[in-house]
Amino acid sequence: MTGIATGDYDKLITEVTEWVRGPGEEWADRIEETGEVPDELWTELRDRGYLSLAAPERLGGRGLSFEQWMGLMESFSTSHASVRMIVHVVNGTWRAMDPFASEEQRDRFVRPSVAGTKKVAFALTEPGNGTGADITCSLEREGDTYYLSGEKHLITFGVRCDYWLLTARLAGSTGREGTVAVMVPRDVAGVTVNDTSQTMGVTGTDHAHMIFDRAPVPAANRLGAEGDGLAVALGGFLTPSRISVAMSCVGLARRAQELAYDYASRRTTFGKPLTARQAIQFMLAENEADIEAAKQLILYAAREWETGAPRASQLSSMAKLTAVDMLGRVTDKALQIHGGLGYWKTEKIERVYRDARAQRFEEGTNEIQKMVVFRELQKQKDVL
């Protein structure tokens, strides 16, 4: 995929960067003050076209290449974590739906999601097991209707969405062969939705715990065939999404580095700014190298995924675990450079530090990434 022309892309990067540093900072302050992401922010992001950047033109998107999208992801991620979360999720969920959707389903679900007129929440995780073939949320089919029972939790935007893109399994089945992906209307009967949004960071992003009791879902809302559930949830979505999350770590680390450098330049001790102290210089230098190394691995993973390279899945997990570890080191040093003042909410580094911790869980923990990397390594060795 070639993406948009270089000149147009450069203008877009400049526009997004200016928005993040101007209106984006105002939104960040408002979100932290109120604890909520207002609907007006969603509207502004939609009207600016920021929710449809990564999707192809045939779906109503801007048609950026994946590597171009990574550049925008880095810029958005220097903003508030909830702003980043919105653009990341909306610019990614179409990848799960589109390969399995009929043209009628694209008109009902995919294109409205890309346009930002319908909110789709990705609903895979459950409270009682892992996030894969051991899911237990079940579907029983009666005629043209599935009846959904079970629980999902930690579902981002699961409270305010229009649809849950939900993976369950046919009742009585085991393994991935019994999994099914369905588009469940938010207002379906037989569901209880609990708002569980009181998180350490990423303030304002709503998270839902849903309990289904034979909630009726039209069979026409199924994506793909019975047995395709995990392919929908994980196949075309998870690998690029992990790369995108990794790049969001770079953006947030870049913001922490900027805050640390600016503070160190202003803060004076014994007549000299902190930037004159070798200990601080070394910390900032280590951060800069750490950020750049992670970024280059991520861009390599992005290019490999876009060309369909066989190592794309392994590189995606490598990029994510490397970037997450980098983000932890960078934000810790950035906070340390601020001294005790960095622990106060009056300093922006305090929010950045809290938001950074969430990246360790998103799209799978580092332990999961290491399992993927080793599994692919083992396959390579077996071939040899």
CATH numbers and ranges of domains, the chain:
6-92 (1.10.540.10), 120-228 (2.40.110.10), 237-383 (1.20.140.10)
What is the chain's alpha carbon radius of gyration, rounded to the nearest angstrom?
A: 21
pLDDT at 105: 98
Q: What are phi and psi of 74, to 5 degrees?
A: -60, -45
Q: What does the alpha-carbon distance between residue 238 and residue 316 come to, in Å, rounded to a whole number? A: 9
Residue 159 and residue 198 in contact, taking contact as beta carbons nearer than 8 Å: no
Closest alpha carbon to 312 in 372, 247, 381, 249: 372
One-letter amino acid identity for 191? V
pLDDT at 90: 96
Residue 183 and residue 109 in contact, taking contact as beta carbons nearer than 8 Å: yes
Specify which residues 185 forms β-bridges with: 163
Q: Is 363 a catalytic residue?
A: yes
pLDDT at 299: 98
pLDDT at 367: 94
CB atoms within 10 A of CB 130: 10
pLDDT tens for the chain, 384 residues long, are 589 999 999 999 999 999 999 999 999 999 999 999 999 999 999 999 999 999 999 999 999 999 999 999 999 999 999 999 999 999 999 999 999 999 999 999 999 999 999 999 999 999 988 778 899 999 999 999 999 999 999 999 999 999 999 999 999 999 989 999 999 999 999 999 999 999 999 999 999 999 999 999 999 999 999 999 999 998 778 899 999 999 999 999 999 999 999 999 999 999 999 999 999 999 999 999 999 999 999 999 999 999 999 999 999 999 999 999 999 999 999 999 999 999 999 999 999 999 999 999 898 899 999 999 999 999 988 876
pLDDT at 237: 86
Cα four-point dihedral sign 95, 122, 86, 370: negative
pLDDT at 1: 57
Q: What pairing do the DSSP bridges indicate for beta strands 138-142 and 191-195? A: unpaired
Residue 116 and residue 90 in contact, taking contact as beta carbons nearer than 8 Å: yes
Q: What are phi and psi of 360, to 5 degrees?
A: -70, -20
CB-based burial, 51-75: b 16+ in 10 Å, e otherwise: bbbbbeeebbbbbbbbbbbbbbbbb
CB atoms within 10 A of CB 26: 9
Catalytic site residue from 74, 226, 362, 363: 363
CB-based burial, 248-286: b 16+ in 10 Å, e otherwise: bbbbbbbbbbebbbebbeebeeeeeebbebeebeebbee
Q: What pairing do the DSSP bridges indicate for beta strands 272-273 and 268-269? A: antiparallel
CB atoms within 10 A of CB 3: 16
Interior CA angle at 238 toward 101 and 72, to 5°? 95
CB-based burial, 170-179: b 16+ in 10 Å, e otherwise: beeeeebebb
pLDDT at 147: 98
pLDDT at 280: 98
Please state the separation of Cα 85 from the chain's center in Å. 6
Relative orientation angle of helices 6-21 and 66-76, to the nearest 10 degrees: 20
